[in-house]
Amino acid sequence: MLTLAAFQREGVEPQVVYEGSSVGCIDLVKAGMGVSLHAREFAAAFGEDEDVCCVGLEPAITFSYGLGYRPPAELTHAEQLYLSYMMQFERK
């Protein structure tokens, strides 16, 4: 939604036809089937590919990650440990 809002602010109405894996998107770009929006680090990995051109966007579009999980009682021990670790960084 943040990305679509950014397009709308600029008066652009993209025709989104695929939302899936990032690698799948790059394959579609290579096949001449549109453009794809990715995190700068992912896009940079294809900067040396002669079939894909990558450019940075300004101003940057920002987003925040979240953590989704099943009820804590249903998590494995390893998942509980990971959740406990990640909760140290919870933004209130």
Write down the pLDDT at residue 83. 94
Residue 16 domain-assigned (yes or no):
yes
67 contacts: CB under 8 Å, gap ≥ 6: 83, 86
Say if 90 falls within a structural domain: no
State the residue range of the domain holding 40.
2-65
Q: What is residue 56's predicted lDDT score, i.e. its pLDDT?
A: 80
- From 81, 64, 90, select the one nearest 2 (Cα to Cα): 64
CA distance 85 to 50: 41
pLDDT confidence tier of residue 64, bands split at 50, 70 and 90: confident
- Total domains in the fold of the chain: 1
User: In this structure, is residue 80 part of a structural domain?
Assistant: no
Q: How confident is the model at residue 76 (pLDDT cuts 50, 70, 90)?
A: very high
Comparing CA positions, the residue from 45, 38, 1 lying closest to residue 22 is 38
Task: Look at residue 75 and tell me whether its pLDDT is greater than 90.
Answer: yes
In a domain, 12, yes or no: yes
pLDDT at 53: 82
Examine residue 87 and state whether it is found in any structural domain, yes or no.
Answer: no
Look at residue 77 and tell me if it is in a domain: no
> pLDDT tens-digit profile of 2-58?
778 888 899 998 888 888 788 888 888 888 888 888 887 887 777 677 888 888 877
Position 1 pLDDT exceeds 70 = no
Is 40 inside a domain boundary?
yes
Residue 85 lies in a domain: no
